[in-house]
């Protein structure tokens, strides 16, 4: 039996007819850029994130990396400004900061949650610190009760990288609706994924939304009048059509992921691995189910050889990436991040995974670790 890390094909086959109906409308109207499908998705996703007290507006854009760039630009982060960010994230979070000439200041993670450690934020703030980017990594919301008072006290702009956490909640409120701006990626493998590149920014601040609308479309209000230097980053109508269909399934799919996570937890509990902890303050959406173990590299290689696609998100922390050598970080600077990166293993998880497959994955892992859990 083969077990993919995520089964995009199986999901597609389940919703194929609906997808093609929506896409067909785009072709029939030849409304390919900023068309009605894009408007519809922006509205629906805004409604999804909103509460009675907190109305969220959204702007679709080209991808999740662009969403971060647009957010930083709209918040006027630029040359030599410092932006606080965890080193344990996908590289794009940091890339966005550097592309604007700003400087990423890394913060270590908390070992239990594997997310930015709120206790370490305050001491990293300087007079040059302009913003904080938090990452709801693996689908798990950061502790907003600890983070919001800090951004408020120091007047820091807050960006939420929600690329892995569509539909996740901190105390009944969706991530992406806490900070100044929430940034989403709809890369195909995410919990809500398009069939190509796509992204979105979300905010309750109408002024920021207006600004981002212009920034994402060459800084223009009218066709030939450019008020400032923007960029071309728009949500393609075809991708928006796909997302319109898939958004209707997001909560159901996330509940399937939660079921899979609980099932993994049950089967893995007697193995010599560290399981991700479940917090009652948040609704985790399990973009990844990440365990920790000592002989990770060996297990990773053998499992993949057997056709069980396990992953590592991520093996090299951002502060140790060759591209960031000029920032002069070194091994040992963020000990928790470095330790975690050497031990983590992402198990196959997606809404379509079955009980049989999870049994198979765990049985193989167990065999490899040469202990028996089914006694």
Ligand X SMILES: *Cc1c(COP(=O)(O)O)cnc(C)c1O
Q: What is the pattern of x (binds ligand X, CB under 6 A) and - over residues 164-183? A: x-------------------
Note whether 90 binds ligand X by CB under 6 A: yes
Exactly one of 70, 92, 175, 320 binds ligand X (CB under 6 A); that residue is 92
Part in contact with ligand X (CB under 6 A); list of ranges 20-28, 90-98, 271-279, 291-299: 90-98
Rounded distance between C-alpha atoms, residue 141 and residue 134, angstroms: 9
Note whether 202 binds ligand X by CB under 6 A: no
Part in contact with ligand X (CB under 6 A); list of ranges 12-20, 97-105, 158-166, 268-276: 158-166
Exactly one of 65, 191, 237, 288 binds ligand X (CB under 6 A); that residue is 65
Q: Bridge-partner residues for 13, per DSSP?
A: none
Part in contact with ligand X (CB under 6 A); list of ranges 20-28, 48-56, 63-71, 275-283: 63-71
Part in contact with ligand X (CB under 6 A); list of ranges 6-14, 161-169, 217-225, 252-260: 161-169
Q: Which residue lies nearer to ligand X by CB, 49 or 273?
A: 49
Note whether 89 binds ligand X by CB under 6 A: yes
Q: Which residue lies nearer to ligand X by CB, 45 or 263?
A: 45
Do 316 and 86 contact (CB within 8 A), yes or no?
no
Note whether 187 binds ligand X by CB under 6 A: yes
Phi/psi at 366 (5° precision)? -60, -45
Note whether 135 binds ligand X by CB under 6 A: yes
Note whether 141 binds ligand X by CB under 6 A: no
Note whether 217 binds ligand X by CB under 6 A: no
Part in contact with ligand X (CB under 6 A); list of ranges 30-38, 86-94, 101-109, 149-157: 86-94
CB of 164 to ligand X, least distance (A): 5
Note whether 93 binds ligand X by CB under 6 A: yes
Do 276 and 238 contact (CB within 8 A), yes or no?
no
Exactly one of 64, 104, 139, 176 binds ligand X (CB under 6 A); that residue is 64
When CB distances to ligand X are compared, the closest residue is: 64
Q: Which residue lies nearer to ligand X by CB, 187 or 263?
A: 187
On the CB side of 235, CA atoms within 13 Å amount to 32
Q: Which residue lies nearer to ligand X by CB, 110 or 161?
A: 161
Part in contact with ligand X (CB under 6 A); list of ranges 31-39, 146-154, 160-168, 212-220: 160-168
Question: Taken in order 326, 332, 335, 338, is the CA torsion positive or negative?
Answer: positive
Note whether 236 binds ligand X by CB under 6 A: no
Which two three-digit tokens encode residue 251?
Answer: 């909560």
Question: Which residues of the shown chain bind ligand X in the complex (CB under 6 A)?
Answer: 63-65, 89-90, 92-93, 135, 161, 163-164, 185, 187, 197, 199
């Amino acid at each position: 039996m083969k077990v993919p890390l995520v089964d995009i094909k199986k999901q597609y086959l389940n919703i194929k007819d609906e997808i093609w109906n929506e896409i067909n409308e785009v072709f029939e109207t030849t409304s390919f850029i900023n068309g009605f499908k894009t408007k519809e998705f922006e509205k629906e996703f805004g409604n999804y994130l909103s509460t009675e007290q907190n109305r969220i507006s959204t702007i679709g854009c080209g991808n999740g990396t662009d969403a971060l760039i647009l957010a930083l630009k709209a918040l006027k982060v630029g040359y030599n400004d410092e932006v606080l960010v965890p080193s344990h994230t996908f590289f794009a979070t940091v890339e966005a900061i550097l592309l604007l000439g700003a400087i990423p200041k890394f913060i270590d993670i908390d070992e239990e949650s594997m997310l930015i450690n709120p206790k370490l934020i305050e001491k990293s703030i300087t007079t040059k610190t302009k913003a904080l980017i938090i990452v709801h990594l693996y689908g798990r919301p950061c502790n907003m009760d600890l983070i919001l008072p800090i951004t408020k006290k120091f007047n820091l702009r807050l960006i939420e990288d929600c690329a892995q956490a569509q539909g996740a909640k901190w105390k009944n409120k969706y991530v992406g609706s806490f900070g100044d701006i929430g940034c989403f990626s709809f890369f195909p493998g995410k919990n809500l994924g398009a069939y190509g590149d796509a992204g979105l920014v979300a905010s309750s601040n109408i002024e920021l939304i207006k600004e981002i609308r212009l920034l994402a479309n060459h800084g223009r209000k009218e066709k030939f009048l450019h008020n400032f230097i923007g960029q071309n980053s728009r949500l393609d109508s075809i991708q928006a059509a796909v997302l319109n269909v898939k958004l209707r399934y997001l909560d159901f799919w996330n509940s399937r992921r939660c079921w899979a996570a609980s099932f993994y937890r049950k089967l893995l509990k007697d193995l010599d691995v560290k399981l991700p902890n479940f917090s009652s303050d948040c609704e985790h959406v399990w973009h990844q189910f990440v365990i920790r173990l000592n002989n990770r590299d060996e297990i990773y290689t053998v499992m993949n050889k057997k056709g069980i696609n396990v992953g590592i998100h991520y093996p090299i922390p951002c502060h140790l990436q060759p591209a960031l050598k000029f920032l002069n970080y070194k091994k040992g600077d963020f000990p928790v991040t470095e330790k975690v990166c050497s031990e983590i293993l992402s198990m196959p998880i997606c809404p379509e995974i079955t009980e049989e497959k999870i049994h198979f994955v765990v049985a193989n892992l167990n065999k490899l670790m040469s202990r028996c859990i089914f006694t």
